[in-house]
Structure 1
Amino acid sequence: MAKRVAFFASKEEIENYYNIQTKKESLFEAHYNLSPGHQLPVITIANGEPQIERLRWGKSGTSGAKETTIEKENLLDRLKEKDATRCILPLSGFYIWKDNQEKNNPFFVRLLNDAVASIAGIYISGEEDYVSIVTTESNTLVQPMSARMPLLLDQPTALQWLEKGIDLAELLSRTDNIFTLTDLTVLRVSKKVNDPSNNSPKLIQPIPK
């Protein structure tokens, strides 16, 4: 499940990874405990070129954000609707909880050899613009804690994800085996993550199991 994420990549890392340029320094403000309703960094295509902005995670609702995730299995049908387009969330990692029980210690999942984790998303435009994270069945590393996880893309696949003419069904078929178990790390971290108001680099520091 995708309930909480972190973003602390530098402006230079993001620009180099996606070959984009922006003068908006505020887009790169680090946050170690982003929850639905927060503004997330989002990469979309504008005038044929990738651009970065911030968009709300999930649609506003009386009981909290809605439509924060969409299952990979339902993605093709959702993208047939005119208000939905593909986007990339250039994040640093995400949190999971054993059986999604947020009273327990969370685990922080990140890539071992990349500062940026490209997470597949969709951008919904209309009266309210927001993004949803695409989820997939968890790999064997994450599965003991959570049945689902965000869909991670490597650099080439992330750039293809943004292409309008791409065969999305074929691309999705290739996303299951992009990363091996040795590409990811799962770290047990502090219960302070459970409080969305906490935001500190200390939140991603591993603690003994």
Structure 2
Amino acid sequence: MCGRFTLNLAPAVLQEWFDIIEGVDYPPRFNIAPTQPVIVIADQEKLRRAILMRWGLVPMWVKDPREFPLIINARTETLPEKPAFKGGLRHHRCIIPASGYYEWRKGADGKKQPYYITLKDSEPMAFAGVYSTWMGPDGEEIDTTAIITLSANKDIRHIHERMPALIGKSQIDDWLNVRGVNEKEAYAMLRALPEGKLDWHPVSTRINSVQNDDLHLLDVVSEARPETPKKPVSKQMDLF
């Protein structure tokens, strides 16, 4: 699965790399977590836009999102069939830009060691995603998204069995083109990266707390380091 990621690209780099119509102002983030607002790139009304959406998909047919389970990932194996995803694959494909992401490896002692994973060439990551606009009974609208995942490649299978589906730069136009590229053609793009494309290193267990969001979360460690408990201060935005 993919449960935490980072985005510390300069806004100008994001605009140029993903060819969006205008820049978007955002602070660097080093511990993006489910239910938080995330930047999502989608083609809407023939224009490529960067939009804030809640990470946690709520299909448009849900009556009460408070009673619906949190869906942060969509598995490729069930993407074309599950009601929550198949409409998104056809009509609402998107990209979630990232600098890297975190995954946890469970040791023999049961403890989990977090790792930070990036592309070796340091290029931006383009997570394949689907999104939905939920409309409430009073006319309110909430845009939500989920990251598509697939079986991990050999590079990182020793860390975790799943990884985000990454769209190559040359495929971004086709992935986002829901009018000209059908769901079968788009689904064929969801393939694991070849070996040798990823870098990874262990990081502190400070990443386990969503209250921590700083550059030092990316520091290389030899083993997990306990942190001094702090009074929680929520940085999440409640979109419900």
TM-score (norm 1): 0.87
> How far apart, CA to CA, are the structure 1 residues paired with 2:211 and 2:110?
14
Q: Is residue 117 from structure 1 mapped to residue 115 from structure 2 by the alignment?
A: no
> How far apart, CA to CA, are the structure 2 residues paired with 1:65 and 1:207?
34
Distance change (3 Å), C-alpha of 1:23 and 1:5? closer
Q: Where do residues 139-178 of structure 1 align in structure 2 (5 Å cutoff)?
A: 139-164=153-178, 165-176=180-191
Q: Where do residues 29-68 of structure 1 align in structure 2 (5 Å cutoff)?
A: 29-59=27-57, 66-68=70-72
Shift of 1:71: 0.4
Q: Root-mean-square deviation (CA), in Å?
A: 2.7
Give the counterpart of 1:69 among 54, 69, 73. Answer: 73
- Aligned amino acid, residue 202 of structure 1: H
Q: 2:97–2:126: 8 Å Cα contact kept in structure 1?
A: yes
Shift of 1:63: 9.2
Deviations 1:111-130 (A, max 9, x none): 12143100000111122321
Deviations 1:25-70 (A, max 9, x none): 2xx3211001101111100112212110111100586699701111
Q: 1:59–1:65: 8 Å Cα contact kept in structure 2?
A: no
Q: 2:87 — aligned with what?
A: 80
Aligned residues: 206
Q: Where do residues 172-187 of structure 1 align in structure 2 (5 Å cutoff)?
A: 172-176=187-191, 179-187=193-201
Shift of 1:4: 0.7
Q: 2:152–2:161: 8 Å Cα contact kept in structure 1?
A: yes
Q: Is residue 199 from structure 1 mapped to residue 197 from structure 2 by the alignment?
A: no
Distance change (3 Å), C-alpha of 1:183 and 1:30? same
> How far apart, CA to CA, are the structure 2 residues paired with 1:134 and 1:12?
26
Shift of 1:85: 1.0
- Aligned amino acid, residue 41 of structure 1: I
Shift of 1:182: 2.1
Deviations 1:77-129 (A, max 9, x none): 32237996111001111100014999522001111214310000011112232
> How far apart, CA to CA, are the structure 2 residues paired with 1:96 and 1:82?
25
- In the alignment, structure 2 segments of 5+ residues that lack a partner are 59-64, 136-141, 224-240
Distance change (3 Å), C-alpha of 1:144 and 1:80? same
Distance change (3 Å), C-alpha of 1:174 and 1:131? closer
- Aligned amino acid, residue 47 of structure 1: E
Q: Where do residues 119-134 of structure 1 align in structure 2 (5 Å cutoff)?
A: 119-127=127-135, 128-134=142-148
Deviations 1:116-170 (A, max 9, x none): 1000001111223210010101111121121111111110112211011214323
- In the alignment, structure 1 segments of 5+ residues that lack a partner are none
SS of 2:80 mapped into structure 1:
helix
Please tell me whether Structure 1 or Structure 2 has the larger radius of gyration of its CA atoms. 2
Distance change (3 Å), C-alpha of 1:81 and 1:163? closer
Shift of 1:24: 3.6
Shift of 1:21: 3.4
> How far apart, CA to CA, are the structure 2 residues paired with 1:16 and 1:180?
26
